[in-house]
Structures are given as structure tokens and as C-alpha cells.
Amino acid sequence: RSRFEAERGRTFAMIKPDAYNHIGKIVDRILEAGFRISNIRMVRFSTENARQFYAEHAGKPFYDGLVGFMSSDVVVGMELVAVDAVPKWRSLMGPTNSNTARNDAPTSIRATFGTDGQRNATHGSDSPASANREINFFFSIPSNTAALNNCTCCVI
Ligand code: RTP
Ligand code: MG
């Protein structure tokens, strides 16, 4: 496929609760990699939001822990546009488990900002169809300003 024929596509990226302190650095990496951020939003997932977002994993041993983690604090969701956006973003994130990432892709986002197999800093869609579903889901969540103002690290 020539660069003239290359089609830009989109993916859904999310900065998970464990990476709250690294939001700026992760956004910098996304822009430095050449993505266009075409939409961005901060949300606090309810338990039900997290269950629905990760519905494909329902019944797996890590599902309940994942739902609890993803609803533990705010997330930042982004619609990213680039050529081959889905694999490009997954490559920038690195392997799912941050410990594996530190061995196999030491400069990746999950190697740099994640902790383990669950607390791995970022999410990325696994296909263009998943990206469509996730973007529609995320940007349709009703706003809940009160939940955004709740933080565990300080009293405003
Ligand atoms: P993601 O969907 O978040 O972008 O991650 P992924 O495709 O690389 O991995 P996936 O298999 O879809 O898993 C979704 C998320 O569930 C948590 N997880 N925990 N404890 C475990 O064994 C385990 N396995 C997966 C991670 O937060 C993972 O990103
Ligand atoms: Mg996945």
C-alpha cells in the first residue's frame, strides 16, 4: 500500500486510574508519535460503566478486579486518528502486562507508567470495530461532575 493510498483510521485510547499523575506525559507521547487527538474527555466510570466497557471479559478470573480498578478514579478517553491507528497505538502502549513490557518493550508507555498485569496505565482498542463501539460508548456516558471532583489524594 503506497503512502498515497494509506487511509487514516481511528482508535480509542484511555488513560487508566493508576496513571492519573502521568496524564500530561502520556498525552505528550501520543502527540509526539504523530496521532491527531480528535476528541478527549475525562470521566469517572461507575461500576456499571466499567462492566459494560469490558463486557467481552465477563466471567474471566480478572473481570471483577478489573471493574473495581477501572471505577476507582477518573480516566481520560481519547479518539486518536492516524494511519493504521489501532496497531499503531497498541504498539506504542506495549504488552498488556507492564512487567512483560519492561522486558520486551522498555520504552513503551506501559513499561514506563504501568505497574503489573492489571494496573497498566492505558487501554487501546483491539480492532476498528471495537474502536467504534468504545468511542460511541465512552463519549455517550452522562456527565457526572461530582464524581470528577472526588479525589482520594487531597481535600479541595
Ligand atoms: P486493554 O483492553 O485494557 O487495552 O488491554 P489489552 O487488550 O492489552 O488486554 P485485555 O486482554 O483486553 O485485558 C483488558 C485489561 O484487563 C486487565 N487484565 N488483568 N490480572 C490479569 O490477568 C489481567 N489480564 C488482563 C488489564 O488491565 C488489561 O489491560
Ligand atoms: Mg483489550
pLDDT digits (tens, 9 = 90+) for 48-101: 999 999 999 999 999 999 999 999 999 999 999 999 999 999 999 999 999 999
Q: Average pLDDT in the 140-153 region?
A: 77
Q: Which residues are annotated as a binding site?
A: 16, 62, 90, 96, 110, 120
* Model confidence band, residue 2 (pLDDT cutoffs 50, 70, 90): low
- Which residue from 51, 66, 99, 137 has its CB within 8 A of the most atoms of ligand 1, so it is best to mutate? 66
pLDDT digits (tens, 9 = 90+) for 15-60: 999 999 999 999 999 999 999 999 999 999 999 999 999 999 999 9
Which amino acids bring their CB within 6 angstroms of ligand 1? 62, 66, 96, 117-118, 120, 123-124, 126
The interface predicted TM-score of the complex, written ipTM, equals: 0.95
The CATH code of the domain that includes 51 is 3.30.70.141
Active site residue 57: no
Residue 150 falls within a domain, yes or no?
no
Give me the number of domains the chain comprises.
1
Integer Cα distance of 129 and 14 in angstroms:
16
3-state SS assignment for residue 99: helix
Residue 113 falls within a domain, yes or no?
yes
Q: For residue 6, what is the DSSP state?
A: P
Among the listed residues 10, 29, 44, 123, the single catalytic one is 123
Q: pLDDT value at position 11?
A: 98
Residue 155 falls within a domain, yes or no?
no
Q: For residue 23, what is the DSSP state?
A: H
Q: Is the pLDDT assigned to residue 1 strictly greater than 60?
A: no
Q: What are phi and psi of 144, to 5 degrees?
A: -140, 80
pTM of the model: 0.93
Q: How far is CA 19 from CA 59, 78, 121, 124, in A?
A: 26, 14, 5, 14
